[in-house]
Amino acid sequence: MPIIGNFPSGSGGSGGGLALAAVSGIQTLTAAGKVYVKWTDPDDLVVAGSPLASWGGTLLVRKAGSAPVSRRDGTVVLDSKTRNAYQNSYFCDSGLTDGVEYFYKFFPYTTSSAYTDSADDEFSATPNPVAVGDVSGITLAAAGNGKLSIKWTDPAATVVTDGVTRATWASTIVVVKEGSYAASPTDPDAAYTHTSTTRNGHSSTPLVATGLKNGTTYYVSLFPMSTDGKANTNAANRKTGVANRMTIANVPSQSGSLTFQENTPQSPSWSNYNTAQLTLGGVTTGTNATSYNATFTPKDDYMWPDGTTTAKTVSWSIGKAAGSLTLSKSSVTLNTSKLSDTVTVTRPGDGAISATSSNTSVATVSVSGDIVTINHVNQTTGSATITIKVAAGSNYTAPANKTVEVTAQFMPAKGNKLNTYTWEQIKQVSDAGLAASYWNVGDTKTIKLNGKAGNYTFSNLSVDVFILGFNHNSAKEGTNRIHFQIGKISGKDVALCDSKYNNEQTSAGYFHMNTSRTNSGGWNNSAMRKTLLGNSNSPTSPLANSLMAGLPADLRAVMKSVTKYTDNTGGGSNTASYVTATTDYLFLLSEFEVFGTRNYANSAEQNYQLQYDYYKSGNAKVAYNHSANSTAVWWWLRSPYCYTDSGFCNVNTNGYINCTLASWSAGVRPGFSV
């Protein structure tokens, strides 16, 4: 049976024999002036394993206006003799006119030149330029006076379809227009146009459009162009932006602080100051500690956040340096030879100097320039503190205040009884060495005794102390001293006695020299000296339950120590080396100091002692019990009895020298010095 369906019909041309089937899988692409096509050539015609017709080639004929009706009706653009040469890659028909529809037809032929003529081999294509892709990442921002910055990323370098490069990027034309987007790259109403030929040249570095109006919204169109001149006009390539000056976020301000430096001009550091954005003016350098005004003017492309471009005034300052204050002296003494004194104030700058006195009844103060003058007030003795201040000046802060201690030492008036003077005044006269010109030996001053002395309690006992002498034995005992003795009551000499007077007391706390019948250790180590009188402590910190603690505080405040020489060994030996010095505030008198002769004391004591003027003048030595002043009592002396080891010297009830066992309680008539 004959095979009919495999034989195409139509006018194939001049060959004879059987024709092949049509090509298959026709695919086309177009570009500027080009048509691309690929296909699959037909198979050989084989029946029962025997070839009836073999493929010899394929003609491609092009014709404008209509499809070719034969292989000779048009232009042969290809005669392919390699089977399936364009099955996977495209054949390019170039040199065509864009916009014209071209009709093509394949004519496969056999080795016997039998041509296939089939409508299945027909196709048409219209070449046209192909646009490149869209730009991306369009960013618009104000870039300065009449400027708008534009950044974008250009499309891919080529448009490739099925392995065919159909278009290549050539440039991107930027058109900036007011009111609407540009219709084309050559819009005549464009305010700004730029052609960028460097691909991605403005993806990081913006293109700056100039010549625009500040505050105006502009429509920016980007037209990616192919090398064939095709413009991509997609709406994706558009964006609006406002041209304007760039905004300076913050007004500059002074950074850190400046402190005044003498004769040294200074300029501040600034925060938020960019020299590319702002012009600095006004006062930018100063020397004195004060406020200054600098100005900051935006440069042409910049403005403040409020949209203004005029200069803004910014205050900056130089702070005051730390002030200091130095005085030429910190203390002054006023007296009859110096009724006033001056203090020189040294301070940097021009701060006002002032001064005040804490005690204007003693000293007043005045200021002239840098000199502070301190004056007495009616030659009044006392003390005052002068406080000197320096106020803050132009360039320096106020320093800490400083003080001058004033001691006014003016002698009290003469001609009054000793008892009318305070102990402080008495000390003042004594310190000046003038006591003998104020008072006489034997003059008295009343004190009151209070508190316990050993086991005995004094309760507001009023007793007079009297002057024994002035500067007594000063070469050894100390200068500028008035020596006193306790005491007298109603003008009668008395001795202080406890309740066990004239009895032996071996317990502590009685008015005895020691608690046993011994003079070992002499005056220095006696219980009388250390404990009862209280010489183991000082008058300003007296020993509790001592006679010193019972003295008035104002007297204790002015008491002076004296150096007394006594036998400080004892033991019943008349040895000169036993006589040594002690420092005492309250002391008993010695045998020689009372009588001016020696009978029982160490014979060397008199070499260091002098008889007190009071007794030298013949005043009575008999004393009476302070609590029963009609009863004469014997009273202790500090001199150990040098012929035995058991007793100390004393003044007997008849006023004569005697010696008694150390453990007997007796009268006490201590002396002291001011």
Q: How confident is the model at residue 10 (pLDDT cuts 50, 70, 90)?
A: very low
Are 145 and 245 in contact by the 8 Å Cβ rule? The answer is: yes
At residue 622, does pLDDT exceed 90? yes
Identify the burial level of 461 via C-beta atoms within 10 angstroms of its C-beta, where 0-12 means exposed, 13-18 middle and 19 or more buried: middle
At residue 336, does pLDDT exceed 90? no
pLDDT digits (tens, 9 = 90+) for 200-224: 999 999 999 999 999 999 999 999 9
Residue 441 in tokens: 């030996």
pLDDT digits (tens, 9 = 90+) for 343-360: 999 999 999 999 999 999
Residue 109 in tokens: 């032929």
Are 465 and 447 in contact by the 8 Å Cβ rule? The answer is: yes
Give the single-character DSSP code of 607.
G
Q: List % helix, strand, coil for the chain (3-state, nearest 5).
A: 10, 40, 50
Amino acid at 153: T
Q: What integer pLDDT is reported at residue 17 of this predicted model?
A: 87
C-alpha torsion sign, points 434, 438, 440, 442: negative
Amino acid at 85: A
In three-state secondary structure terms, 185 is coil
Q: What integer pLDDT is reported at residue 560 of this predicted model?
A: 98
| Distance in angstroms (rounded) separating the CA atoms of residues 175 and 221 | 5
Nearest partner of 128 among 223, 230, 26, judged by Cα: 230
Give the single-character DSSP code of 418.
G
Q: What integer pLDDT is reported at residue 11 of this predicted model?
A: 40
User: In DSSP terms, which residues pair with 225 in a beta bridge?
Assistant: 171, 231
Task: Give the mean pLDDT of 509-523.
Answer: 98
Are 441 and 469 in contact by the 8 Å Cβ rule? The answer is: yes
Residue 511 in tokens: 């008015």
- Strand 623-625 to 492-495 pairing: parallel
Identify the burial level of 499 via C-beta atoms within 10 angstroms of its C-beta, where 0-12 means exposed, 13-18 middle and 19 or more buried: exposed
| Distance in angstroms (rounded) separating the CA atoms of residues 46 and 110 | 13
Are 53 and 39 in contact by the 8 Å Cβ rule? The answer is: no
E strand or H helix at 147: strand 147-153
| Distance in angstroms (rounded) separating the CA atoms of residues 494 and 156 | 132
pLDDT digits (tens, 9 = 90+) for 384-432: 999 999 999 999 999 999 999 999 988 888 999 999 999 999 999 999 9
pLDDT digits (tens, 9 = 90+) for 88-126: 999 999 999 999 999 999 999 999 999 999 999 999 999
Q: What integer pLDDT is reported at residue 409 of this predicted model?
A: 84
Q: What integer pLDDT is reported at residue 505 of this predicted model?
A: 97
| Distance in angstroms (rounded) separating the CA atoms of residues 514 and 262 | 76
Q: For the chain, what's the residue count? A: 674
| Distance in angstroms (rounded) separating the CA atoms of residues 57 and 74 | 18
Nearest partner of 483 among 437, 531, 435, judged by Cα: 435
At residue 282, does pLDDT exceed 70? yes
User: pTM for this one?
Assistant: 0.56
The per-residue pLDDT of the chain, averaged, comes to 95
Nearest partner of 666 among 615, 632, 642, judged by Cα: 632
Q: How confident is the model at residue 16 (pLDDT cuts 50, 70, 90)?
A: low
At residue 9, does pLDDT exceed 70? no
Q: How confident is the model at residue 262 (pLDDT cuts 50, 70, 90)?
A: very high
Q: What integer pLDDT is reported at residue 275 of this predicted model?
A: 96
Nearest partner of 427 among 405, 443, 447, 412, judged by Cα: 412
Q: What integer pLDDT is reported at residue 37 of this predicted model?
A: 99
At residue 12, does pLDDT exceed 50? no
| Distance in angstroms (rounded) separating the CA atoms of residues 668 and 495 | 5
Q: What integer pLDDT is reported at residue 379 of this predicted model?
A: 86
Q: What integer pLDDT is reported at residue 15 of this predicted model?
A: 54
H helical segments located in 545-620 = 553-556, 591-595, 613-616
Cβ contacts of 38 within 8 Å, gap of 6 or more: 25, 26, 27, 86, 87, 88, 89, 90, 91
User: What share of the chain in percent tops pLDDT 70?
Assistant: 98
User: How many C-beta neighbours within 10 Å does residue 427 have?
Assistant: 22
Residue 487, preceding peptide bond in cis (omega within 30° of 0): yes
Cβ contacts of 308 within 8 Å, gap of 6 or more: none
User: In DSSP terms, which residues pair with 254 in a beta bridge?
Assistant: 270
The strand order across the sheet containing 312-317 reads 278-282, 291-298, 312-317
The secondary structure of 436-495, three-state, reads HHHCCCCCEEEEEEEEEECCEEEEEEEEEEEEEEECCCHHHHCCCCEEEEEEEECCEEEE
Nearest partner of 635 among 598, 600, 590, judged by Cα: 590
Identify the burial level of 98 via C-beta atoms within 10 angstroms of its C-beta, where 0-12 means exposed, 13-18 middle and 19 or more buried: middle
pLDDT digits (tens, 9 = 90+) for 194-206: 999 999 999 999 9
Q: What integer pLDDT is reported at residue 192 of this predicted model?
A: 98
Residue whose token pair is 């925060």: 271
Q: What integer pLDDT is reported at residue 181 of this predicted model?
A: 98
| Distance in angstroms (rounded) separating the CA atoms of residues 485 and 657 | 18
Residue 85 in tokens: 């040469």
| Distance in angstroms (rounded) separating the CA atoms of residues 462 and 522 | 32
Residue 324 in tokens: 């200091």
Nearest partner of 547 among 497, 493, 504, 489, judged by Cα: 497
- Where does 253-311 show beta strands of DSSP type E? 253-255, 269-271, 278-282, 291-298, 302-303
pLDDT digits (tens, 9 = 90+) for 163-192: 999 999 999 999 999 999 999 999 999 999
User: What share of the chain in percent tops pLDDT 90?
Assistant: 95
